[in-house]
Structure 1
Amino acid sequence: MAEDTRQDKRASFSTLAEHNNNGIARTSALTQSKTGASKKLVIKNFKDRPRLAENYTEDTWLKLRDAVGAIQNSTSIQYNLEELYQAVENLCSYKVSPTLYRQLRQVCEDHVQAQIRQFRQESLDSLSFLKGMNRCWQDHCRQTIMIRSIFLFLDRTYVLQNSLLPSIWDTGLELFRTHIVSDRAVQKRTVDGILEQIELERNGETIDRSLLRSLLGMLSDLQVYKDSFEEKFLVETNRLYAAEGQRLMQDRDVPEYLHHVARRLEEENDRILSYLDQSTQKPLINCVEKQLLGEHMTAILHKGLSTLLDENRVTELTLLYQLFSKVKGGLSTLLQFWRDYIKFFGGEIVCTPEKDKDMVQDLLDFKDKMDNVAQSCFTRNEGFINAMKEAFETFVNKRPNKPAELIAKYVDSKLRAGNKEATEEELERILDKIMIIFRFIHGKDVFEAFYKKDLAKRLLVGKSASVDAEKSMLSKLKHECGAAFTSKLEGMFKDMELSKDIMIQFKQYMQNQSEPSNIELTVNILTMGYWPSYTPMEVHLPPEMVKLQEVFKLFYLGKHSGRKLQWQPTLGHAVLKAEFKEDKKELQVSLFQTLVLLMFNEGEDFSVEEIRSATGIEEGELKRTLQSLACGKARALNKNPRGKDVEDGDHFNFNGDFKHKLFRIKINQIQMKETVEEQVSTTERVFQDRQYQIDAAVVRIMKMRKTLSHNLLVSELYNQLKFPVKPGDLKKRIESLIDRDYMERDKETPNQYHYVA
């Protein structure tokens, strides 16, 4: 009976008894105070623990040992598992745990030691050995699990409370590791067998992956995976792929080799997922990448990059980029080769005069191709895009001036009225692409000179395909180079618009004249500073034309006093009414063609010399004019003798039998191909303008800085000038300014300059 020691009050009692199979009873009393809100729980033992029966410990152990033996030998257990579990609990309750733990370990150790014999049979082949090892391991794991289930109470009490003791499961692993896997001969045969199976699989044979997964899992569980297997595996892998890389680089072309490398990497990743430990992934993949890629990067790129780019092998280039991005230094090496390829290939386009005709189109196609590679294959890598821009800028300027000239001519061909190749949208896209190439050019003033020359022809002869396209191109140039670059070009458009207004006023003026003219005159007033310079040419105009010119001159100067008009017959054109035997036609011709045709109103046959004397047209221009009238498709004149070329002794007469399906026929003047002299002349004008710009820049800098050394002055000039210039040219301009007293040398330091105010 239990009493509440604090107060002399009654208490209620409840007694619980728990009995086990051996008749041992424990009794406890649950006492609860009934005094107010506070309660106290007290548990007390009423009886001493009964003693174990004599020989109980020995007999119980024998039962347990027999059960363990039955599990190890795969025979039936004679005792109920619950009874065995309770027996372990009883022994543990009576502090037999240390002895029980030692006895169990010894039994397990004896059994494991007995297993080693089967693995020392030399007659077993490699695969049989691995299967035997796997069976032994699987049996050992199953047995350990069953033994632990019986000794679970021991594992969860005594072992758990002793941190230095391994659990029953860990003990099983330790014993297997110590007595079987750590045996040098057994471990060697196991690892060699696994490596042999992996090599067979790498050579294309089918193997039992579940067997390898189990065995490698065993090595991992036993914590010998890294030391016993992984190191040797990586050495063998390194050796295998080193030899394979050397062999295949000689035997296979680059696309095939790249696909092989990708397949090998995929296989090794699959191997990791299937049976290798995850920790092996990084060193294994690094090994494959190093031996198949890292050791051969330069060789792969030397051997195959040019071919892949030439043939536009997008798939293989994508694969190349993906593979090289995995290797240390791979992308930087690829980028260098990519840059060198662009410089070489582009340099071939630019620096080969025979390809000048197609240079710009080739550059546009090449740029499109490289853009596609950078975006589709190189994942728009900014480094590769910048390298491409740098390479283009390098090779485009390898040949000064010519690319700028040809780009201007290419734009002219696209903006001419005769160009039916593209719609307005397509033309806009072409102009955008041209602007990309234009950005790379250093000598943009050369482009401007040739572009202005061609634009003038388009505007004056009415050959522009579209005013919108012209102004769009002008807007692009302005955005790229600034308003100063396009000011003269914009002035040309303004002149054309003002000329239209002037002609409206002139027509009104002519209507008020007492003697109206039979000729309808149209004049374009060009501001000399905006337009290209044209060589003046004096020709013999008919009196009616001369009179009409004088009328216009009076009209114009009456409105704009102080100005001077200079007529340019080379730019004139006319529409003539002609009467042939069968029909009347209108001939759309140049002013020179007009002068020649009007002669045949006065006579029927004229020699070249007579026509030259009457018209005053320069010899070369006259021969081209006669050739266009007598040797082309529309022959308004007959030439005697017949032939394609006009010679000094030839005679011409009017072709009254002329026929044509159209009423208005345009007889194109044969344009003299731009001679080398004309190209040189245009380029020289650019160089002359550059000299003026250099002079202005030097004076501007010196005026601001007052005193400056030669090197600093040259450095400032390079920063300000927008065209390429050589140090020697700068030195000449500085000397010229010194001679003209804009600046002077320091008397004590000749390398120092002073501004002369």
Structure 2
Amino acid sequence: MSNQKKRNFQIEAFKHRVVVDPKYAEKTWKILEHAIHEIYNHNASGLSFEELYRNAYNMVLHKFGEKLYSGLVSTMTLHLKEISKSIEAAQGGSFLEELNRKWNDHNKALQMIRDILMYMDRTYIPSTHKTPVHELGLNLWRDNIVRSNKIQTRLLNTLLELVHRERTGEVINRGLMRNIIKMLMDLGPSVYQEDFEKPFLEVSAEFYKVESQKFIECCDCGEYLKKAERRLNEEMERVTHYLDAKSEAKITNVVEKEMIANHMPRLVHMDNSGLVNMLLDDKYEDLGRMYNLFRRVPSGLLTIREVMTSHLRETGKQLVTDPERLKDPVEFVQRLLDEKDKYDNIISSAFNNDKTFQNALNSSFEYFINLNPRSPEFISLFVDDKLRKGLKGVSEEDVETILDKVMMLFRYLQEKDVFEKYYKQHLAKRLLSGKTVSDDAERSLIVKLKTECGYQFTSKLEGMFTDMKTSQDTMHEFYASHPELGDSRTLVVQVLTTGSWPTQPSVTCNLPAEMSALCEKFRSYYLGTHTGRRLSWQTNMGSADIKATFGKGQKHELNVSTYQMCVLMLFNNADRLSYQGNRAGNRDSCFRLEKVPAISGLCEGEECSSERTYE
């Protein structure tokens, strides 16, 4: 047995000839055809869908799929032609209602028919590359209803008329519109686009072309923009209610082109209400609306920027070149700051902090601020005014804000070294006179300048503060080493490093004997404790406090320059003085000074300044 070859056995079904009734296909189709008629006639409740499915299944199984499919097409077409007549007969407002009702009926019928013919849908149709039942039903509805000669144009005109009525303020049945538009979308993108969207956009363009022309003739710029914005919002709302979402970009483009792009130059330059007037009157709401509308069209923001820049440069040029405004440097700079604040607020509130507008603003300020060669000096004088007089009732944060604004103007300057020259002079006067509002504020500005321009720019300014601190220590040590002078610090000396402080021409000054003796004591002390140095008195940079008694015993304290102190001290010993000298042009001049009636007094204190140099 083991040597015998194994055999394979296969069991096959008994073969016999199946005899099919020659009238089977016709009989079965008649049953199915009747069922389709009943479905369209709303009599489907009495049908056995299980039996109908089995009949359709057997027809396909017995190779009668073609008969079943072609019969379906013929039967559905027959019913749709009858439905078309019913829709055509509908009058007025009932036209769309009838179309919508029949469309819903057709969809329900189509669902039941597809259930019955499911086996054909899954087997026969894919193998023969025919259109599936549901898609077939939509195509037949499209060809026999939507695109029939008597319905297609009427349907389009009805839909466009309803849109027009809604645009002119009437209330329409949006639910019905949504259903009809969705029907077109369900029939395929091409149906919606060709049969509705394309003519809808064309009609809309004409509508807004006419309306925009009417509005621009009777409205000012702000009113026109409000109407354009409202129309744009209406179209976007219309899309959400009953149009295809993909239509939003298309219809908004139409509104933007017809109402904004085609009228931009006229809008921005409109007399008494255009962009310049909005800027002048700080109309943030109108400016914001213009920005948001113009940004939607090509070159819209560029148009706004160009007009704003042109206006800003022209007004800025007038500001910095007007002789009347140049009489008060502090007011000059304050107006610049106010103008900058104004446009910063506009860009922030109305132009969405757009960097391109901020850049245009900076460019404009840089342009006109440098038209005036005295701008660096005026900015330094502005700082001097704020830090010398102080800001009453203003917090440190507010001082910082002002300094930040000053730095903003400083960045626009092309001649920053000119600013440095004037700033050094003004800072020196504040420090030497002790009239700076706050060392912290002074140092804060130095830090800002250092951050902006680097160490080299501020090294000498920082040296000035170092000298002031060193001088305080020196004076403390001086009086400590001369107890005979007591606690009344009649003399205060600042020892200044050559090169750090601004140099000014100094004339020979004969100090009063009281001061001269004190100065000599300080010189001896200083040179005795510091070798290799020399002192040069800069009386032109000093000041003095003089206590004086006027008539009727009135006592006053005068703050004067060192030169003024020298002259006033002479009147301690004389009531009248005269002076004759040689002035320019070699012409002799005589001066006569008289003592103020009943003025007498003695210099109680004097602040002198000197330069320190290295041998």
Interval of TM-score (by shorter of Structure 1 and Structure 2): 0.7 to 0.9
Deviations 1:400-434 (A, max 9, x none): 2x211110001101211544253333222321221
Q: 1:260-315, CA deviations, whole angstroms, 9 ceiling, x for partnerless residues?
A: 33333332223223222233233222222222222233333334333343344444
Q: What residue in structure 2 maps to residue 685 of structure 1?
A: none
Say whether 1:139 aligns with 2:105. yes
Distance in 1 between the 2:263 and 2:12 partners?
A: 80
Residue 208 of structure 1 corresponds to 173
Describe the shift of the 1:77–1:69 C-alpha distance in structure 2 as closer, same or farther (beyond 3 A).
farther
Question: Deviation of residue 196 (structure 1)?
Answer: 0.8
**Residue among 30, 38, 62 paired with 1:94:** 62
Q: Distance in 2 between matches of 1:554 and 1:517?
A: 20
Q: How far apart, CA to CA, are the structure 2 residues paired with 1:88 and 1:270? A: 48
Which of 442, 447, 451 is equivalent to 1:470? Answer: 442
3-state secondary structure, aligned to 1:652: coil
Specify the alignment match of 2:31 in structure 1. Answer: 63
Cα distance in 2 for residues equivalent to 1:348 and 1:382: 26
Task: Give the direction of change, closer, same or farther, for the CA distance of 1:490–1:173 in structure 2 (3 Å limit).
Answer: closer
Following TM superposition, by how much is the alpha carbon of 1:186 offset from its aligned partner in structure 2, in angstroms?
A: 1.6
Match of 1:229 in 2: 196
Distance 1:183 1:462 in 2: 98
User: Are residue 292 (structure 1) and residue 259 (structure 2) matched?
Assistant: yes
Cα separation, partners in 2 of 1:44 and 1:299, compared to 1, 3 Å: farther
Other structure's SS at 1:44 match: coil
Equivalent runs, 1:46-445 vs 2, <5 Å: 48-49=17-18, 51-52=20-21, 55-75=23-43, 79-121=47-89, 124-125=91-92, 127-163=93-129, 165-223=130-188, 224-303=191-270, 304-356=274-326, 357=328, 358-400=331-373, 402-445=374-417
Task: Supply the AA of the counterpart residue of 2:200.
Answer: F
1:141, CA displacement in angstroms? 2.4
Give 1:560 deviation, angstroms: 6.2
Stretch of structure 1 that moved more, 298-307 or 411-420: 298-307
Q: Secondary structure at the match of 1:133?
A: helix
Equivalent position of 1:643 in the other structure: none
Q: Distance in 2 between matches of 1:588 and 1:157?
A: 112
1:653 lines up with 2:581 in the alignment: no
Deviations 1:651-696 (A, max 9, x none): 831279xxxxxxxx99xxxxxxxxxxxxxxxxxxxxxxxxxxxxxx
Greater relative contact order (Cα < 8 A, sep 6+) = 2
Cα 1:43–1:598, aligned 2, differ >3 Å: closer, same or farther? farther
Q: Deviations over 1:156-208 (max 9, x none)?
A: 33333210x22332332232222332223421110011011111122222211
Letter in 2 for 1:112: L
TM-score normalised to structure 2 length: 0.82
Contact map agreement 2:388 2:430 (CA 8 A) in 1: yes
Residue type matched to 1:393 in 2? E
Instruction: Return closer, same or farther for 1:81/1:440 CA change in 2, 3 Å cut-off.
Output: same
* TM superposition shift of 1:234: 0.9
CA distance in 2, matches of 1:541, 1:88: 130
The secondary structure found in structure 2 opposite 1:653 is: coil
- Residues 477-492 of structure 1: matches in 2 within 5 Å? 477-492=449-464
Give 1:546 deviation, angstroms: 4.2
Q: Kindly indicate whether the alpha-carbon contact (under 8 Å) linking 2:312 and 2:364 is maintained by their aligned counterparts in 1.
A: yes
Unaligned stretches of 5+ residues in structure 2: 584-590, 606-615
CA deviation map 1:60-102 (0-9, x unaligned): 4333333322222334665433333333333333333322322
3-state SS in 1 of match to 2:597: strand
CA contact (8 A) 1:418 1:463 kept: no
Count of residue pairs brought into register by the alignment:
582
Q: Give the Å deviation of 1:586.
A: 5.4
- 2:545 maps to 1:574: yes
Greater Rg over alpha carbons, structure = 1
* 2:550–2:599 Cα contact (<8 Å) kept: no
- Quote the Cα distance in structure 2 between the aligned partners of 1:518 and 1:238: 91
Q: For residues 146 and 517 of structure 1, what CA distance do their matches in structure 2 show?
A: 115
Distance 2:556 2:343 in 1: 53
Contact 2:403 2:445 in 1 (8 A): yes
CA contact (8 A) 1:314 1:373 kept: yes
Equivalent in the alignment of 1:524: 494
**One-letter amino acid matched to 1:103:** G
Q: Distance in 2 between matches of 1:291 and 1:214?
A: 29
Structure 1 stretches of 4+ moved >6 Å: 516-519, 582-585, 647-651
Following the alignment from structure 2 to structure 1, what is the Cα–Cα distance between the partners of residues 20 and 155? Answer: 52
Secondary structure (helix, strand or coil) at the match of 2:493 reads: coil
| Contact kept? 1:537, 1:570, Cα under 8 Å | no
Q: Deviations over 1:569-595 (max 9, x none)?
A: 573312426487568665555546645
1:576 alignment partner, SS class: strand
Measure, in 1, the Cα distance between the counterparts of 2:345 and 2:143: 62
Aligned-pair identity (%): 36
- CA shift in 2, pair 1:252/1:655, >3 Å: farther
- Alignment RMSD: 3.8
Residue-by-residue CA offset, 1:378-409 (whole Å, 9 max, x unaligned): 44444333333222211211222x21111000
**1:680 corresponds to:** none
Segments of structure 1 that go 5 or more residues without pairing to the other structure are 9-32, 34-39, 619-646, 657-664, 667-757
Distance change in 2, residues 1:69/1:547 (3 Å): closer
CA distance in 2, matches of 1:153, 1:274: 39
Q: Under a length normalisation based on structure 1, what TM-score does the superposition of the two structures give? A: 0.68
Which one-letter code corresponds to 1:297 in the other structure?
A: M
* Counterparts of 2:509 and 2:168, CA distance in 1: 90
Q: Distance in 1 between matches of 2:132 and 2:475?
A: 111
